[in-house]
Amino acid sequence: MDPMDVSTGRLQPASRKWRLTGWLLAAVWLFFLNVPLGTALGQAEPWRRWLGVGALVTFGVAYVLLFEWARAHRQASRPIPRGRAVAKLVGLLALGLLSSFGTGADWMTTLVFVATAAVFLLPGWWALVVVALAAATPLLAGYLVPSWTGETTVFFAVLLASFAMFGVAALAQRNGELRAAQQEIGRLAVAEERARTARDLHDILGHSLTVVAIKAELAGRLVEVDPSRAAAEIAEVEHLARAALADVRRTVGAYRGVRLAEELAGARSALAAAGIAADLPAELPELPAERDQLFGWAVREGVTNVVRHSGARHCTIRVSPEAVEISDDGRGPTPDTAAAGHGLVGLRERAQRLDAAVVVGGRPRGRGFVLRVALSSAGAR
């Protein structure tokens, strides 16, 4: 089997070893041409001898090349052109007939190769017709050419070889389908990885740049009123920018991790900079690592949306072992809130991996918005 290029999701070309094996599989069956070849070499007339030998050698080379041509199409999952396949089979049959000048009735051995090539090249019914004609020819030859006797051995050889080739052709088709499936799996894996990277970068930069923008705006208002506090805000903007850059680097290197405690600390700072009162949990329950990370992403997405869009004065975050909830007293959901943006899409994808549900909507009482991520058992309550 060919190796997979994980960067592109494509199968690499077959190695030289496997290409050589394919040539040998096609050429080994030419051994059965030894009978007509011996008959040709035994001819007393030189022209019959050399015509028979030359036609048989050309026949063998053409058969191997034809087999490789068809195999290359099947391996690449490309359809075999029917017109060209029929033309090549007619040419192969013509070479077999030409050899009859030096081989006599033994030329009919070439019909075995013509029949198997038809099975490999042509669709089902077309191949069956060629096999039937090739099998009937030895039985009818004695009636058409008095010097040729009926060759029942060739008749059975055509049937058995064709039956075997039907199995080989089916196997080749399955291998082609398997290669196509592997290519599709590789392509989807690359697409999924790109989507994951884009989602993580969006979540990281969306939150960080939102906080940076708010703090920079605050610092601009404080420059003349309270220069020392403005300087502190600018210093924090620098710290946030460096932290965001580090996050991007960790994400690109697939080392990105999110912790709920860190996100709550960042949420407190972001909400304070935006002038939004924060009601955050004083203590956190013990959570498994994956759930802690999921809840951390939920807090990051929820607080980012509160700061950006809500116009709220107060934000509350509640955490339990089964759920995390971010709510505000802002303007509430819009008609397209449930389908909003990359952030909620990415959060839903993460939640699905832990069999958790993401619920967004208005608060039960009064104005505002709620984002809730809960395990399925807790989300049902």
Domain ranges in the chain are: 6-187, 279-381
Which pLDDT belongs to residue 225? 81
What does the pLDDT read at residue 372?
Answer: 93
Give me the phi and psi of 322, to 5 degrees please: -110, -10
CA-based Rg of the chain, rounded to a whole angstrom?
37
Q: Are 260 and 319 in contact (CB under 8 A)?
A: yes
Name 4's bridge partners: 11
Angle at 160 between CA 156 and CA 165, to 5 degrees: 145
Task: Answer for the pair 126, 46: CB distance below 8 angstroms, yes or no.
Answer: no
Q: Are 204 and 256 in contact (CB under 8 A)?
A: yes
Structure tokens at 235: 């210093």
Contact 371, 306 (CB under 8 A): no
CA-CA distance, 302 to 359, in Å (whole number)? 11
CATH 3.30.1360.200 fits domain 279-381: no
- Mean pLDDT per block of 10 residues along the chain (381 residues) reads 43 48 63 85 90 92 86 75 90 91 86 87 85 84 66 78 74 69 70 69 70 80 81 80 71 64 88 88 90 91 85 92 92 62 78 90 81 74 43
CA distances from 325 to 266, 318, 357 (A): 16, 5, 12
- Over the range 68-85, which residues count as b (16 or more CB within 10 Å of their CB) and which as e? bebbebbbeeeebeeeeb
Structure tokens that stand for 93 in this block: 């049959």
CA angle 80, 83, 86 (to 5 degrees): 90
pTM: 0.46
